[in-house]
Chains A and B, each alone.
Chain A
Amino acid sequence: MDFYFFNLMPYGALDLEYDKKYASANLLLPNSYYDPEEGHKLYTRYMDELEYADELGFDGVCVNEHHQTAYGLMPTPGVIAGALARNTRQAKVCVLGRALPLVNNPLMIAEEFSMLDNITKGRFVAGFVRGLGVEYHAMGINPAFSLERFHEAHDLVVRAWTEIGPFAFEGKHYHLQYVNLWPRPYSKPHPEVWIPSQGSEETIRWAAHPDRRYTYLNVYSPFSAVEQFMGMYRRVCEEDYGYEAEDRQLGLAVPIYVGETDEIAAKEARPHIEAFFNKFLRIPNELLLPPGYTSISSLKAIALAKREMLGGGKSMERMNDLGMFICGSADTVRTRLEEFQDRIGLGRMCTILQFGTLPHELTRKNMELFATKVMPHFRGRLRRPRSEAAE
Chain B
Amino acid sequence: MTGIRTETLNVSGVALTVRRAGEGETLLLLHGANGNASWLPIIESLSARYDVILPDHPGFGDTDAPGWMDSIFDMAYFYLDVIEALGLESFHLAGHSMGGWIAAEIAVRDRHRIKSLTLVSSAGIWVNGTPMGDLFSWSPQETVRRAFARQSFIDEMLAYEPSEEEIGVMLKNRQMAARLCWSPRLHNPDLRKWLHRLKLPTLIIWGDSDGIFPEPYAHAYHELIPGSELEIYENCGHVPMAEARDAFLSRLLTFTGGAA
- Residues of A at under 8 Å CB distance from B? 27-28, 136-137, 140-145, 284-287, 290-292, 296, 299
* Inter-chain contact B139/A291, CB cutoff 8 Å: no
Q: Quick one: which of B138, B139, B168, B178 contacts A292, CB cutoff 8 A? A: B178
* Inter-chain contact B137/A291, CB cutoff 8 Å: no
* Inter-chain contact B183/A291, CB cutoff 8 Å: no
B184 to chain A: closest residue by CB? A140
A143, B176: Cα distance in complex, Å: 11
B142 to chain A: closest residue by CB? A286
Distance (Å) between the CB of A219 and the closest chain B CB? 23
* Inter-chain contact A290/B178, CB cutoff 8 Å: yes
23 A–B contacts from the bound complex (CB under 8 Å):
A27-B137, A136-B182, A137-B137, A141-B182, A141-B183, A142-B178, A142-B179, A142-B182, A142-B183, A143-B178, A143-B182, A145-B179, A284-B139, A285-B139, A286-B136, A286-B138, A286-B139, A287-B137, A291-B174, A291-B177, A292-B178, A292-B179, A292-B182
Contacts A142-B178, A143-B178, A291-B178: A296 and B137 contacting too (C-beta < 8 A)? no
Interface status of B12 (Cβ within 8 A of chain A): no
- Chain B contacts of A140 at CB under 8 A? 183
A137, B177: Cα distance in complex, Å: 15
- Chain A contacts of B138 at CB under 8 A? 286
Interface status of B172 (Cβ within 8 A of chain A): yes
Distance (Å) between the CB of A147 and the closest chain B CB? 12
Interface status of B253 (Cβ within 8 A of chain A): no
- Would you list which residues of chain B between 178 and 207 have a CB under 8 Å from chain A? 178-179, 182-183
In the complex, besides A141-B183, A286-B138, A292-B178, 16 extra interface pairs with C-beta distance below 8 angstroms are A137-B136, A140-B183, A142-B179, A142-B182, A142-B183, A143-B178, A143-B182, A144-B175, A144-B182, A286-B136, A290-B178, A291-B175, A291-B177, A291-B178, A296-B172, A299-B171
Main secondary structure of the interface of B (DSSP, over half): helix
- Would you list which residues of chain B between 204 and 225 have a CB under 8 Å from chain A? none
A137 to chain B: closest residue by CB? B137
A287, B138: Cα distance in complex, Å: 8
- Would you list which residues of chain B between 41 and 74 have a CB under 8 Å from chain A? none
Distance (Å) between the CB of A136 and the closest chain B CB? 8
- Would you list which residues of chain B between 128 and 181 have a CB under 8 Å from chain A? 136-139, 168, 171-172, 174-175, 177-179
* Inter-chain contact B171/A296, CB cutoff 8 Å: yes
Q: Quick one: which of A27, A144, A285 contacts B178, CB cutoff 8 A? A: A144
A27, B137: Cα distance in complex, Å: 10
- Chain B contacts of A144 at CB under 8 A? 175, 178-179, 182
Distance (Å) between the CB of A137 and the closest chain B CB? 6
- Chain B contacts of A142 at CB under 8 A? 178-179, 182-183
- Chain A contacts of B183 at CB under 8 A? 140-142
A290, B137: Cα distance in complex, Å: 8
- Chain A contacts of B136 at CB under 8 A? 137, 286, 290-291
A299, B139: Cα distance in complex, Å: 16
Distance (Å) between the CB of A280 and the closest chain B CB? 19
- Chain B contacts of A143 at CB under 8 A? 178, 182
A287, B175: Cα distance in complex, Å: 14
Distance (Å) between the CB of B56 and the closest chain A CB? 17
- Chain B contacts of A285 at CB under 8 A? 139
- Chain B contacts of A290 at CB under 8 A? 136, 178
Distance (Å) between the CB of B206 and the closest chain A CB? 26
A54, B183: Cα distance in complex, Å: 42
